[in-house]
């Protein structure tokens, strides 16, 4: 039966290999330094950086302080083995935004009326819609644009007003496009990064390669992010 120390070292070695691959030109850089460097760019590493640094110390104790060639000085607890194996899986097999957030996205054309948008909000319960002119992406339409338009037009009903008349009231930088191969943690990182820049975005729009001319494969809203454990 495999000992906990053997399971621990196997998971640690797989993590170390993954970090080396991500570091690319980081020849000669040790595990702990790699963790500190990558935690600035990789949200998964950032999440588990403290654990990984502790595991590096435990790994050194197991490898260098053996009682003999057959026995480690300490056997990690079952919970430690389970956690490092879970972290290893997240690092080496991260969840991708597709299929997790793949869905049919409700879109509108600039010539569509406000009443169609309001009907979609009422019937579907969400309020963020990509808008196109033909196949050209024009922006992400949200309730904030409607509110600003109503305030500027003295709360006129305007149900037959066209989206193109209200779209100028929409903040331009309220979205980002993301590739379908991006990880969920990369998506989380984009939301966090934009908040850090003072630009709270409403949604990430998923396409094949993260280009706005490509077909929409899904959408990730800020509300979706709140439901993810991280």
Within 10 angstroms of residue 210's Cβ, the number of other Cβ atoms is 16
Q: Could you tell me if 56 and 124 lie in one domain? A: no
Question: Domain end: 35, 64, 91, which one?
Answer: 91
pLDDT at residue 67, as a whole number:
55
pLDDT band for 40, please (50, 70, 90 cuts): confident
Q: pLDDT tens, 73-124?
A: 678 999 999 999 999 999 999 999 999 999 999 999 999 999 999 999 999 8
* Residue that is last in its domain, among 59, 91, 123: 91
| Strand positions, DSSP E, the chain | 108-109, 128-133, 136-142, 175-179, 203-207, 218-221
Same domain, 80 and 109: no
Is residue 142 within 8 Å of 174, Cβ to Cβ?
A: yes
User: Is the pLDDT assigned to residue 51 strictly greater than 80?
Assistant: yes
- Model pLDDT, residue 125: 86
Predicted local distance difference test score (pLDDT) of residue 106: 96
Domain with 142 in it: what CATH number? 3.10.580.10
Cβ contact 178:190 at 8 Å: yes
For residue 185, the model assigns a pLDDT of 86
**Longest Cα pair distance anywhere in the chain, in angstroms?**
83
- Average pLDDT of the chain? 90
CA distances 79 to 85, 86, 131, 163, 230, Å, are 10, 10, 49, 55, 19
Do residues 9 and 120 share a domain? no
Q: Do 108 and 209 share a structural domain?
A: yes
Regarding whether 120 and 49 lie in a shared domain, the answer is no
108-109, strands of its sheet edge to edge: 108-109, 128-133, 136-142
List residues bridging with 203 in a β-sheet. Answer: 175, 221
Indicate the SS3 state at residue 185. helix
Whether this model's pTM surpasses 0.95: no
CB-CB contact of 23 with 34 (8 Å): yes
For residue 48, the enclosing domain spans: 4-91
> Same domain, yes or no, for 140 and 208?
yes
Question: Are 126 and 211 in the same domain?
Answer: yes
85 lies in the same domain as 106? no
The CA-to-CA distance between both ends of the chain, in Å, stands at: 33
> Number of structural domains, the chain?
2
* Span 144-168, pLDDT tens digits: 999 999 888 876 667 789 999 999 9
**Same structural domain, 173 and 86:** no
Same domain, 104 and 185: yes
**Among residues 145, 141, 86, 85, which one has the least CA distance to residue 108?**
141
In terms of pLDDT, which residue wins out, 179 or 150?
A: 179
Whether residues 105 and 83 fall in one domain: no
pLDDT of residue 223: 86
Does residue 188 share a domain with residue 105?
A: yes
**Domain limit, last residue, from 91, 115, 144:** 91
The Cα 16–Cα 9 span in angstroms is 10
């Amino acid at each position: 039966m495999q000992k906990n120390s053997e399971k621990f070292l196997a998971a640690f070695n797989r993590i170390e290999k993954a970090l080396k691959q991500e570091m690319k030109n980081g020849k000669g850089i040790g595990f702990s330094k790699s963790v500190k460097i990558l935690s600035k760019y990789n949200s998964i590493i950032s999440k588990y950086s403290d654990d990984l640094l502790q595991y590096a110390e435990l790994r050194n104790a197991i490898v260098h302080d053996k009682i003999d060639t057959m026995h480690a000085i300490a056997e990690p607890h079952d919970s430690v083995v389970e956690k490092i194996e879970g972290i290893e899986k997240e690092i080496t097999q991260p969840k991708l935004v597709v299929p997790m957030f793949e869905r049919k996205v409700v879109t509108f054309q600039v010539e569509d009326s406000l009443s169609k948008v309001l009907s979609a909000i009422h019937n579907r319960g969400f309020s963020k819609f990509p808008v196109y002119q033909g196949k050209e992406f024009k922006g992400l339409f949200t309730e904030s644009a409607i509110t600003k338009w109503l305030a500027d037009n003295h709360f006129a009903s305007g149900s037959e007003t066209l989206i193109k008349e209200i779209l100028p009231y929409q903040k331009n930088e309220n979205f980002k496009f993301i590739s379908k191969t991006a990880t969920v943690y990369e998506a989380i990182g984009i939301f966090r990064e934009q908040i850090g820049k003072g630009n709270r975005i409403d949604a990430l729009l998923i396409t094949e390669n993260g280009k706005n001319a490509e077909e929409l494969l899904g959408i990730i809203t800020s509300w979706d992010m709140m439901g993810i454990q991280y």
